[in-house]
Amino acid sequence: MSSSNVRWDIGNSLGVLTFNRPEARNALTWDMYAALEAACDAADARDDIRVLIIRGSGGSFAAGTDISQFEHFASGADGVAYERRLDAIISRLERVTVPTIAEIDGAAVGGGALLALACDLRACSPRATFGVPVARTLGNCLSMANAARLVHVLGEARVRDLMLTGRLMDVDEARQLGLVTREAPSASLEAATLALGAELCTRARSTITATRTLLQRLRTTRLPSMAADDVVEACYGSDDFREGVRAFLEGRPPRFF
């Protein structure tokens, strides 16, 4: 893998990618995203990987994209380029040829939430939370493709609620929506995830492949990401977004305009 902030292990037909930047709640750098893409490539290429597991260390799944990477954005066009790149990464995870499990202990927010919800299954601790709280943190927005992904999984009403308020969804609410495949205390969550992965390894590959392909095809009615480039460019070019980034880097609450 291409990042020192990621661990990659293979054993018992399971490929396990661990985001390992606990001091930053596993905020995702471009190197970490690239490592995820490399893990997907490995899962596609190797016969000894039948399930891909994604997890985070230190009590967080992933706290979104590292905001310091936005510090040098000069215009809304930088935001459009970023969202297209993020779309491509999420799409790569969706297209991996083996089933995927997100192991979520703590926060899965922003890009982390998109990764967790793009996986086939989710094993969660009681501390798991989900959301894209940019309305109260950064003042940016989702791409068309990522908005469609959230609506597909959560429904439009729930997406409006989460995005407009910036609140996070706890594990109880996630369970009610059918998002939690397995639940275990933090101390035993890894074992529960590995057991779920081992269970999938005993199932018919033909059925798993067919089911995942059918469900992916049902989602092909999404509008292309560029259908909302004007919206994304205006949001990332706004005073609110510049203030959100400054406030985060200065360690203070944002004062939106």
Query: Looking at residue 223, what is its pLDDT?
Result: 61
Query: What's the pTM?
Result: 0.95
Q: What is the pLDDT of residue 243?
A: 96
**What distance lies between CA 135 and its chain's CA centroid?**
18
Helix or strand holding residue 117 (H, E): helix 111-118
pLDDT tens track for 67-97: 998 999 999 999 999 999 999 999 999 999 9
Q: What is the pLDDT of residue 89?
A: 97
Q: What is the pLDDT of residue 221?
A: 61
pLDDT at position 47: 94
pLDDT beneath 70, residues of the chain: 1-2, 221-225
104-141 residue pLDDT tens: 999 999 999 999 999 999 999 999 999 999 999 999 99
Domains of the chain (ranges, CATH numbers): 6-186 (3.90.226.10)
User: Which pLDDT belongs to residue 217?
Assistant: 87
Largest Cα–Cα separation, the chain: 55
What residues contact residue 161 under an 8 Å CB cut-off, 6+ apart? 167
**What integer pLDDT is reported at residue 257 of this predicted model?**
87
Question: pLDDT at position 1, please?
Answer: 62
What distances in angstroms separate CA 152 from CA 25, 63, 81, 177, one per listed residue?
27, 22, 23, 12
What confidence score (pLDDT) does residue 134 get? 97
Give the separation between CA 94 and CA 25, rounded to whole angstroms. 24
Scan for tokens 């230190």, then name that residue.
58
Neighbours of 159 (CB within 10 A): 19
Residues 6+ apart with CB under 8 A from 191: 184
CA distances from 192 to 14, 58, 105, 198, 239 (A): 13, 17, 12, 10, 45
d(C-alpha 131, C-alpha 85), whole Å: 20
* Category of 31 on φ-ψ map: left (φ > 0), alpha (ψ -120 to 50) or beta: alpha
Look up residue 240 and give its two tokens. Answer: 């609110």
